[in-house]
Structure 1
Amino acid sequence: MTLQLQSSQKGTVIVAVDANRTTGSVEAVEWALKYVVKPGDVLLILGVFTDHPAKKNSCFPVKLLMGLGAVSGIYEALEFVDHEEVDPVELEEEFERKRKEYRSILQPLYRQCSKNEVSLLLKLAAGFCPARLAIKESQNLITRWIILDSHFKKSKVYLRGHVTCNIAVVKEKGYASLMLSNDSVTPEEHPGEKNSKGFSAYELRNKSAPAPYPHYPCFYPLSWRSGFPRVFSYNELEVITNGFADDNIKAVVDGMAVHQGILQDTPVLVKSLQITNKGFQTILEILSQVRHRNIMNLVGYCSTGVSAFLLFDFPCLGTVQMNLQCDELAEKLEWGTRWSIALEVGRSLRYLHEECIDGPIVHKNVRASSVALSYGYSAMLCNFVHAEWLNGIFSPTKALIYKYDESHFGDVYDYGKFLLELITGKCVSPVHDQGKDPMIEWALPLLENGESGKLMDCRLTESAGDATMVRHMAHAALRCLKVDSDHKLSTSEALAIVRGDELAIFNN
């Protein structure tokens, strides 16, 4: 009987531990049993090898050791996929050693599980990212919690963007850092020992996953709530980021950390900048004025005189570039989704170029790395470091129709490159000389000959209607990239082509 069949009607708690180490493994499982596992649950322990003596380089095969609770303790079934880069004998020996180790340390816990009718399962894996493995295992299960030992603490940010269940990182025995789902059910009062976060064991056990699309952070972002954007004190930022803890670092950009934090139960990004960085003032001036559902809006800022910080809504699915560079994530960006992203980015540019009441804004850096994705793959234009406010370069007549100049057309050209990134699944190199990017030189002849099918990302399967959407994006990309054409497109015109409303272009 498979794991899916056994647990199809049961709640599951997944505990991911570093199989290369013994310390921390038992603590994470014990914490799960004490605080979150309920009678009748499935407790799945994932022991993930992050390093292995049989590994000759960074690529090594999948080797699984699976087991379930039984009278004799742990029952194992082996599955091995050979690979020339790994010594299979060494890998087999390592798994056998680890199997015996886990059999010993889990035996007392198995007896505890048996008394509470908890199904204890063990799976050892090599060659997996622990976060992605936990996500994969949770997809066909009713997963209430994913628990990480301290060695996998950096995986929690990635998990939060891909699962809706509760997440815990067990830092030491009896203590865990929690990222709870937005469960609207208030647990009953129940006596019991409180953990460091103030939740009793009863309360934690009865926390359940929310609907597939939770209400935060993207359906009602902080930047749209009353009172934002606003000025924050440094002390407030310390609370939001848990003292700028290293395990809250989401990325490092130009040597400056980008932290994830929690504000009003909603994830936010806190980006550090040097006070002398002109990008700080530019972003502050522009984003304190603009408001658009497809722009990564400003939540607030802080300036200490030495350093500066900007707070943004949290892009829970990463950037388009991140998704295109990972085969597994790119396959989820189906053609309909990519076409929708193209439309949303086009609308954000049209807003900046033609609809800002205080004058047009040019972005100057439209590309896959500058487009973030929220829940439901809604696109948000971000990275305004190079943006410029063209104050005074617009006409107050003709219903505020703005006059385009070379700066605007630069954004339109970049929009064409972005469309090409969506079509091909490849990211354009960050060059600034128009027409000299190798991928554009390769793609333009195919676009001109109407051979967009040869550009389509081969990782996606094509279904009815997909070809039409790709054809619209390809036509718009061609018109945006043809810098020597007699008529350079405005953003509105490019957006009309992506929509398929070509009659509007001919009339214009």
Structure 2
Amino acid sequence: MWALLSTSLSCLLDAIPEPTLFTTSGSPLAKKDSPISIFSSKMEAQSPRMVPVVEEAHHQDLNKRILIALIVASTLLVGIVLFLSCCWICRLRKSRACSAKSKSNDVPMLDKLNSLRMAEKNGSVAAMEYHLLQAATNNFQEDNFLGEGGRGCLYKACFSEKLLAAVKRFEGEEQDIEREFENELNWLMKIHHQNIISLLGYCIHGETRFLVYEMMQNWSLESQLHGPTHGSALTWNLRMKIAVDVARGLEYLHEHCNPPVVHRDLKSSNVLLDSDFSAKLSDFGLAVTSGIQNKYIKLSGTLGYVAPEYLLDGKLSDKSDVYAFGVLLLELLIGRKPVEKISPDHCHASTC
């Protein structure tokens, strides 16, 4: 811009004729022997006021040209400034629109989970849209697969860089899905304890049901004991900590819930561990109200953890969970599964 202004001024100045052409006869630049000088002196003698008038007209013309150049340069400068300002404003509006659009895609998801957490504290759980779960789990790809339970699969859901969750998809016969889904949803809406898994939300999409839990970074006790590490990460202090956490969760269910609750499917795969290896009970699809020891209900549970009186007579009480807890303690101590397949040679050798 300044280069353009200086160029305009220089062009105008170059076009101005040299002022020395209009000097008087006493100028040292004039040649004494030149005919033009003699003629000029004669003309000057005849009309002494002619040269000042010409010089005054020339200065007025020069001032006009400089003024016009300044006006043109100022106009160009203002135009360039206005143009750059418009470009900057348009770019700023475009960037704000793009950021607002990107935030509009993320904020509903985060607001939804925040509202779910607030609802969970208030004893209620809100519904989630299926497309949010689909986006968070990358359309339930195998990369986000965490494990498989009795009624479905568990997937990792990434709603943001700092917000992770676990999504359980219920699969199987429609009646069983509906019953266990509603049962677990109802219980987790009522039960709130530091050693009970927290429910963030749920989703119903066609015939498929989803539950969204808090993320447990160290997965399940079963994966720690019988996975690739074979319990190497579990020190004795951590094993005692896990046992105490499970006992506290059962104590809350049996003695502090109204009415008392029997979990009915306590096992190592339903004991989840967070980043600090704090244990939380999960999978309440088979949980029932306690105090029904004189009633007969459908046999459910996992072989090896089921109490004998429930297995043989179908009588269920809170003692059934206590029996499963004892099996879980042995599993923690010796690192063996409650039921294992043994080869015939090994079985014969152990019998001998």
Q: Normalised by the size of structure 1, how large is the TM-score? A: 0.37
- In structure 2, the residue matched to 1:253 is 149
Corresponding letter in the other structure for 1:271: K
Distance 1:296-1:255 versus aligned 2 partners, 3 A rule: closer
Matched, 1:314 2:215: yes
Per the TM alignment, residue 352 of structure 1 is displaced from its structure 2 partner at its CA by 0.6
Per the TM alignment, residue 293 of structure 1 is displaced from its structure 2 partner at its CA by 1.1
Q: In the aligned structure 2, how far is the partner of 1:417 from the partner of 1:222?
A: 38
Once the two structures are superposed, the pairs formed by residues 349-428 of structure 1 within 5 Å of their partners are 349-356=250-257, 358-390=258-290, 406-428=316-338
- After superposition, give the CA deviation of every residue in 1:390-414 in whole Å (9 maximum; x if it has no partner): 4899xxxxxxxxxxx9411111111
- In structure 1, the residue matched to 2:159 is 263
Per the TM alignment, residue 226 of structure 1 is displaced from its structure 2 partner at its CA by 1.6
Unaligned runs of 5+ in 1: 1-197, 199-220, 394-404, 431-441, 443-508
Once the two structures are superposed, the pairs formed by residues 441-460 of structure 1 within 5 Å of their partners are none
Matched, 1:429 2:339: yes
- In structure 2, the residue matched to 1:231 is 127
Corresponding letter in the other structure for 1:409: K
- After superposition, give the CA deviation of every residue in 1:303-329 in whole Å (9 maximum; x if it has no partner): 124111111111211211111114635
Matched, 1:244 2:136: no
Q: In the aligned structure 1, how far is the partner of 2:150 from the partner of 2:265?
A: 16
- In structure 2, the residue matched to 1:286 is 187
Does the CA-based 8 Å contact 1:337-1:377 persist in structure 2?
Answer: yes
Q: In the aligned structure 2, how far is the partner of 1:256 from the partner of 1:299?
A: 18
Q: In the aligned structure 2, how far is the partner of 1:253 from the partner of 1:315?
A: 16
Does the CA-based 8 Å contact 1:359-1:390 persist in structure 2?
Answer: yes
Q: In the aligned structure 2, how far is the partner of 1:328 from the partner of 1:243?
A: 29
Per the TM alignment, residue 250 of structure 1 is displaced from its structure 2 partner at its CA by 1.9
Does the CA-based 8 Å contact 1:222-1:313 persist in structure 2?
Answer: no
Aligned partner of residue 333 in structure 1, secondary structure: coil
Distance 1:256-1:225 versus aligned 2 partners, 3 A rule: closer
After the TM superposition, list the runs of 4 or more consecutive aligned residues in structure 1 that deviate by more than 6 angstroms.
221-224
- After superposition, give the CA deviation of every residue in 1:158-198 in whole Å (9 maximum; x if it has no partner): xxxxxxxxxxxxxxxxxxxxxxxxxxxxxxxxxxxxxxxx9
- In structure 1, the residue matched to 2:205 is 304
Per the TM alignment, residue 254 of structure 1 is displaced from its structure 2 partner at its CA by 4.4
Corresponding letter in the other structure for 2:194: R
Per the TM alignment, residue 246 of structure 1 is displaced from its structure 2 partner at its CA by 3.3
Identity of aligned residues (%): 29
Q: In the aligned structure 1, how far is the partner of 2:116 from the partner of 2:250?
A: 19
Q: In the aligned structure 2, how far is the partner of 1:340 from the partner of 1:223?
A: 32
- After superposition, give the CA deviation of every residue in 1:321-347 in whole Å (9 maximum; x if it has no partner): 111114635122111111111100000
Distance 1:348-1:224 versus aligned 2 partners, 3 A rule: farther
Does the CA-based 8 Å contact 2:151-2:170 persist in structure 1?
Answer: no
- In structure 1, the residue matched to 2:12 is none
How big is the alpha-carbon RMSD for the aligned residues of Structure 1 and Structure 2? 3.1
Does the CA-based 8 Å contact 1:268-1:314 persist in structure 2?
Answer: yes
Does the CA-based 8 Å contact 1:223-1:313 persist in structure 2?
Answer: no
Distance 1:227-1:240 versus aligned 2 partners, 3 A rule: farther
Per the TM alignment, residue 299 of structure 1 is displaced from its structure 2 partner at its CA by 1.0
Does the CA-based 8 Å contact 2:180-2:285 persist in structure 1?
Answer: yes
Distance 1:353-1:255 versus aligned 2 partners, 3 A rule: closer
Does the CA-based 8 Å contact 1:223-1:299 persist in structure 2?
Answer: no
Corresponding letter in the other structure for 2:317: S
Does the CA-based 8 Å contact 2:331-2:338 persist in structure 1?
Answer: yes
Once the two structures are superposed, the pairs formed by residues 493-508 of structure 1 within 5 Å of their partners are none
Does the CA-based 8 Å contact 1:363-1:387 persist in structure 2?
Answer: yes
Distance 1:238-1:254 versus aligned 2 partners, 3 A rule: same
Per the TM alignment, residue 245 of structure 1 is displaced from its structure 2 partner at its CA by 2.8
Larger-gyration structure (1/2): 2
Q: In the aligned structure 2, how far is the partner of 1:258 from the partner of 1:243?
A: 13
Q: Normalised by the size of structure 2, how large is the TM-score? A: 0.52
More strand by percentage: 1
- In structure 1, the residue matched to 2:234 is 333
Q: In the aligned structure 2, how far is the partner of 1:222 from the partner of 1:413?
A: 38
Does the CA-based 8 Å contact 1:323-1:329 persist in structure 2?
Answer: yes
- What number of residue pairs does the alignment pair up? 203
Distance 1:224-1:233 versus aligned 2 partners, 3 A rule: closer
Aligned partner of residue 426 in structure 1, secondary structure: coil
Moved more, 259-268 or 306-315: 259-268
Q: In the aligned structure 1, how far is the partner of 2:181 from the partner of 2:141?
A: 23
Corresponding letter in the other structure for 2:229: E
Does the CA-based 8 Å contact 1:368-1:427 persist in structure 2?
Answer: no
Does the CA-based 8 Å contact 2:231-2:335 persist in structure 1?
Answer: yes
Does the CA-based 8 Å contact 1:286-1:389 persist in structure 2?
Answer: no
- In structure 2, the residue matched to 1:323 is 224
Per the TM alignment, residue 366 of structure 1 is displaced from its structure 2 partner at its CA by 1.4
- After superposition, give the CA deviation of every residue in 1:226-274 in whole Å (9 maximum; x if it has no partner): 2333211212212222222332222233473322112353111111114
Distance 1:224-1:296 versus aligned 2 partners, 3 A rule: farther
Distance 1:382-1:332 versus aligned 2 partners, 3 A rule: same
